[in-house]
Structure 1
Amino acid sequence: MQPNIEAFLDPVTQTLSYIVFDEPGGTCAIIDPVLDYDHRSGRTSTLSADSLIAFVENQRLKVEWILETHVHADHLTSAHYLRSQLGGKTGIGREVPKVQRIFKEIFNLGPEFMPDGRHFDHLLGNDETFEIGKLSAKAISTPGHTPADLSYQFGDVIFIGDTLFMPDLGTARADFPGGDARQLFRSIRKLLEQPAETRLFMCHDYPPPTRQARWESTVAEQRARNIHVHDGISEDSFVAMREARDATLDMPMLLLPSVQVNVRAGGMPPPEGNGVSYLKIPLNLI
């Protein structure tokens, strides 16, 4: 069975969230959901997540999984909120403790934060298979952007997180803590070894003024036209390009708040004595 797919574009962060389901009245997974965050006031809201809930309820779906392709640095996840409203299990890549350890040190998180993946219901390994109603799914390890990136395959469809963008935009950066451009190239080539007609769904699109936002491509299109990794680009050439380009990029606006929430599967830091949760801003470190 091929999946039904509903895409939701967050215009603030240009993030794509997806609901993948077998049939109306059936079972679904939610991939990379967004929690709205105003960086000026520090306030969160659930407008984006509530649109996912409305679709789930309208289609009479049971949520089996809430899946993250990685610990995002450009938006906060609403996985914790959605789990409280809809049920389901939260899942992420098995290597996520590596990411948690990195950011535990950067943010000097207290002893209550254990970097062992316990914040998620299940850590998925490479080639691990699982069921979503009548759909069969497989996790594919695709590190490089972070050490713990996963892609999710349903039949001829793969949700590829932050590995590739649309062909005119190229590939994701690899300079976040724990990122590796060489590893990213090898992960991308693993994806591009899939059959030519395999459909690839992006986690982001940052369209130029000349086109509308798009988030679906194919292996054939990426191999022919991706400006960074089309066929004929060598690993060494890609690494040199990626590292030079990354050195010119600003950090994402929501990097600091995002990772502190996302390493906790969308949970907030423990409230302090006044009942308020706080996020940390490390000075002159990143």
Structure 2
Amino acid sequence: MESAMDSSAVRRPLALAALVAVTMIAFAGNSLLCRAALKHTGIDAASFTTIRIASGALVLWLLVRQRGARLDGRGSWLSAFALFAYAGGFSYAYTSLPAGTGALLLFGAVQATMVGYGIWSGERLRAMQLLGLLLALGGLAGLLLPGLSAPPLQGAVLMLAAGAAWGIYSLRGKGAGDPTAVTAGNFCRATLFAAMLSLIMAGSARLDAAGVGYAVASGALTSGIGYALWYTVLPALRATTASTLQLSVPVIAALGGILFLGEPVTLRIVLAAVAILGGIALVILNRHR
């Protein structure tokens, strides 16, 4: 993968834009594939998680091997557990959450975790950053308030936990070395945790061809290749650009949910999306200014 997409290709504006677009669609595709599998097929959440992680591990391992690199000592068990916690919470949350709502909760929780860590470690927020943080938290609170259009509480809590786990995973991954190799090592380790979950939940395990296909696509394509693409284009992007581009993921997931899964659009989700994504944008843009 990376050998095929050399640095000169990534530097070309049209090629870079195309790769970024494909990457964002892949990240949003995780929500769509997981929701479609757990709503429309017979697969259970534990089996989906295990197949997704194992498929991602295999693809990332093959990509690293293609470059002639090795996984020896890459990644860590703690990061792998955070990755597993994200994937498991993500799958169980999507047994009840719409794709767009889940992606919005996930992204909000990821960013809240990372901003919270920055504050805890001594980072001082500017006035506009503080306003953005309050706006995003208000959007999350508004989305979760009881009402006819509120998301199921259990699913929402699970997705917020998954987002916090992914935020921790992202923080631990900063400066950890070759990101593709590190991610591959963490996926390989996380496979063990996922297998243990499947063993514990063996009594309720359900598999069918469509569900397995969705899980493999989520692991191999939208996770494994998606992450490899992201790490390929990331060096060509400014930090602000990279952060703000990811704001598109919940929007793409919501549109995909409407177009492909028949999910409704509610005023609550539209207002929450504007508040959460707008607030996060204020934090990101003022952080890098």
> TM-score under structure 1 normalisation?
0.29
Choose between structure 1 and 2: higher strand proportion.
1
> TM-score under structure 2 normalisation?
0.29
Structure number with the bigger relative contact order (C-alpha 8 A, sep ≥ 6) is 2
Choose between structure 1 and 2: higher helix proportion.
2
